[in-house]
A and B are shown apart, each in its own frame.
Chain A
Amino acid sequence: MMTKRPVIVELKNISTRFGSNSVHENLDLQILEGERVALVGGSGTGKSVLLSEIAMLREADSGEIELFGESITKMSGQGLLAQRQKIGMMFQQGALFSSLTVLENIMLPIREHRRIKGALLKDLAMLKLRLTGLPEHSAHLYPQSLSGGMLKRAAVARALALDPPLLLLDEPTAGLDPAGAAAFDDMLLELHAALNLTLILVTHDLDSIWTVTDQVAFLGERKVLVKQPIEQMVKDKHPVIQAYFANERAKRAIRQELI
């Protein structure tokens, strides 16, 4: 029997509004260490918004967020900075700095936070580059000359630069071909196993959900309706969840997984 795992992310009573449009109302969510959680839900249910709130890039209108056991709601300055270093964020389009090479992109957070110089800095960046499966020669390429798959890997490499225990990914496999997406999923699983990562991903890719995640948090009706493994999720009787998984494309994906 496993010992009880600590809670890494705890969302309590989160409400988010855009003008008069309410996206989250009294939303609760708990994510344990080592979990691989997918945030799913229809368009406009605030998945990406929730992710950026966890990443401390956006403040919820009300409610409390605890990361690694500490409330960030009233945190400022040094405390926030320390928390940020424990979180790696991969943006949907990669968001690599276009005026820096891939290696320089990865070096940036290490250099700025740890004040490391010289060969070690490059070696560490190179390690991250190779951990994400990028070829060596990509080190000195600029982001605009990378393919979609390489771009996403480079973005993960930068997110992992400081070895954060929590990795957030916004639509990691969107825009990749099926083979590329599968390879990316495999990389995520490998990294998760090797580095003791906790993964939270926003995704629409059902293949990804089946292979990568062990928990799925379904957003609907302005809250997290349920958080459970995908095997139970597809059998859930809740009408919104059924509608999401009941369409033909989803069924096909599920059928293939079950065979």
Chain B
Amino acid sequence: MKIEKHPPKMMDATGGLELVGEWTTIYLKELQKLARTQTQQVVSVAIDALDTNGARVLLDIIGNSPNTWPPGLTTEQRGLLELVRTKTDPVPEEHASVNLLAALGQQVFRVFRHGRELLDFAGQLTALIVSLLRHPRQLKIKMLLDVLQRDGLNAVPIIALLAFLLGAVIAFQGGLQLATYGANIFVVELISLIMLRELAPLICAIIVAGRSGSAFAAQLATMQMNQEVLALKSLGQDPFAWLVLPKLLGLMLVMPLLTILSMVTGIGGGMVVAMMQLDLSPVEFIHRFASVVDPIHFWVGLIKAPVFAFLIVNVGCMQGMLAKGGAEAVGHRTTRSVVQSIFLVIIVDALFSILFAQLGW
């Protein structure tokens, strides 16, 4: 079955133009062109079909007042035009854009507001821990175990692998330099100090921020949109006790363990490279390690882990809880949580370095 098509046209007629064809949505592009190129007065209308989009364009051509509409419109078409005429309104103004200075001011205020929100939330978390010490029963053991498994145990392979590769890369690059001085054996100090003090906690924090911090933010943001957080409140439950405390406690427990894991595998990676590239046997490596590496380096690295965990939970949960709006907000908050927590982890790491340097550790 072939359907005949009648594209809209303007035909020359005595004294002006006659409109013919189908004035409907499928010909919208053509209609727009007609409206733009129309020069003469329209004297009559003989169109086959009309819908609201077509009527809107037609009104632009024949004008808004029914008295001046050309003859030839059917009653139905007139009715539709009348309806469209009453529903035609200009698009309201959008909010004018603010000037540059105001935008700068807003930006500065925003930075301060974020800082304040972060401190606010950190305060709430601290109060939460204190209240947990007084009422240990508010801890949801099952949710805590969930966090231990999902964010601790399940992260073991990726963290172990990445720390191993990191250790290997550092030993390889450092070893090349040391070998030129014949100082192969110092690769042990190089890899041990750098992994224990700095890189093991850092790589751990970065992976956990990307893996778990983002998940926290996305989960809480979605729950916030679904009004699940409000539902908890209405049931007389403290949303923080359900949603934040298990994450906080779980990550602070798991993070030191993951850090130890990445210390071990990182140094292991260095050891493998030392064996293959620098002719340093594992026995020698471990012997050297035991005799020259002070345990304080281990503690310096380890003490950072729970602090990083606190930061990651703080940022992730705060971003989640603050989410408003739709699907886009979830994505936005998740991104922010990762960027902010990695940023803060590195800042705090630098502060730790200064502190330990002052202490002489």
Task: Report yes or no: B84 in contact with A116, Cβ–Cβ below 8 A.
Answer: no
Could you tell me if A99 and B328 are in contact, using CB atoms closer than 8 angstroms? Answer: yes
Main secondary structure of the interface of B (DSSP, over half): helix
Task: State whether the Cβ of A72 lies closer than 8 Å to any Cβ in chain B.
Answer: no
> Among B87, B91, B326, which residue has its beta carbon within 8 angstroms of that of A122?
B91
Query: A162 with B327: in contact, given A69-B1, A103-B91, A123-B88 (CB under 8 Å)?
Result: no
B83: interface (CB < 8 Å): yes
Tell which of B56, B60, B91 has the most Cβ of chain A within 10 Å. Answer: B91
CB contact list, B46-98 vs A, under 8 A: 51-54, 56-57, 60, 79-80, 83-84, 87-92, 94-95
Are A127 and B84 neighbours in the complex by a CB distance under 8 Å? yes
Question: Are the CB atoms of A127 and B56 closer together than 8 Å?
Answer: yes
Interface flags for B260-292 (1: CB within 8 Å of A; 0: not) read: 000000000000000000000000000000000
Of A103, A110, A120, chain B has the most CB atoms within 10 Å of the CB of A120
Q: Is the CB of A116 within 8 A of B79?
A: no
Report the bound CA distance from A128 to B52 in whole Å: 8
Q: Is B214 part of the binding interface, using a Cβ–Cβ cutoff of 8 Å?
A: no
A127 to B90, CA, bound (A): 9
The reply on A144 being an interface residue by CB < 8 A is: yes
Q: Is there an interface contact between B91 and A126, defined as CB atoms closer than 8 Å?
A: yes
In the assembly, what is the distance between CA of A144 and CA of B327, in Å?
Answer: 10
Interface flag for A186 (CB, 8 Å): no
The answer to whether A144 and B53 have CB atoms under 8 Å apart is: no
B95: nearest residue on chain A (CB-CB)?
Answer: A140
Q: Is the CB of B53 within 8 A of A136?
A: no
Q: Which of B23-31, B169-177, B186-194, B309-317 contacts A (4 or more CB under 8 A)?
A: B23-31
Q: Are A194's CB and B92's CB within 8 A?
A: no
Residues of B within 8 A of A137 (CB): 92
Q: How far is the CA of A130 from the CA of B79 in the complex (A)?
A: 16
CB-CB < 8 A to B95: which residues of A? 140
Residue of B nearest to A142 (CB): B325
**Contact indicator A116/B89 (Cβ below 8 Å):** no
Inter-subunit contact A98/B328 (CB<8 Å): yes
Candidates A98, A126, A136, A194; contact of B327 at CB < 8 Å = A98
A126 touches B90 (CB 8 A): yes
Tell whether B32 is near chain A: CB-to-CB under 8 Å: yes
* The residue from B26, B91, B326 contacting A123, defined by CB atoms under 8 A apart: B91
* A143 lies within 8 A of chain B by Cβ: yes
Given the interface contacts A99-B328, A127-B87, A162-B25, does A139 sit within 8 Å of B52 by beta carbon? no
- Indicate whether A25 reaches chain B with its CB closer than 8 angstroms: no
Residues in B neighbouring A144, C-beta threshold 8 A:
324-326
Whether A115 lies near B84 (C-beta < 8 A) is no
Is there contact, CB below 8 Å, between A114 and B29?
yes
When C-beta atoms are compared, the residue in chain B nearest to A138 turns out to be: B92
The chain B residue with its CB closest to the CB of A131 is B87
Q: Which residue of A lies closest to B327 (CB)?
A: A98
Give the distance in Å from the alpha carbon of A127 to the alpha carbon of B59 in the complex. Answer: 12
Of the four ranges (under 10, 10 to 19, 20 to 34, 35 or more), the interface on chain A belongs to: 20 to 34
- On whether the beta carbons of A131 and B32 are closer than 8 Å, the reply is no
Evaluate whether A124 and B53 lie within 8 angstroms (CB atoms) in the complex, with A115-B29, A130-B89, A136-B92 already known. yes
Q: Which residues of B contact A127 (CB under 8 A)?
A: 52-53, 56, 84, 87-88
Among B35, B52, B88: residue with most chain A CB under 10 A: B52
- Taking the nearest CB of chain A, how far is it from the CB of B88, in angstroms? 6
Kindly list chain B residues whose C-beta atoms are within 8 Å of the C-beta of A69.
1
The answer to whether A163 touches B51, judged by C-beta atoms less than 8 angstroms apart, is yes
In the complex, are the beta carbons of B92 and A139 less than 8 A apart? yes
Chain A nearest CB, measured from B209 CB (Å): 26
Assess A163 versus B87: contact at CB under 8 Å? Given A98-B326, A98-B327, A144-B326.
no
Cβ contacts under 8 Å, A130 to chain B = 87-89
Chain B, Cβ-Cβ closest to A140: B94
Q: Give min CB distance, A223 to chain B, whole Å.
A: 29
Contact mask for chain A residues 142-157; partner B; CB cutoff 8 A; 1 contact, 0 none:
1110000000000000
User: Measured between C-beta atoms, what is the minimum distance from B55 to chain A in Å?
Assistant: 8
Name A residues whose Cβ lies closer than 8 Å to a Cβ of B: 69, 85, 98-99, 103, 110, 114-116, 120, 122-128, 130-131, 136-137, 139-140, 142-144, 160, 162-163, 194-195
List 7 A-B pairs, minimum CB-CB distance, nearest first: A98-B326, A163-B51, A130-B87, A114-B28, A99-B328, A163-B25, A122-B91
What are 5 A-B residue pairs whose CB atoms fall within 8 Å in the complex? A114-B25, A116-B29, A120-B56, A123-B56, A136-B89
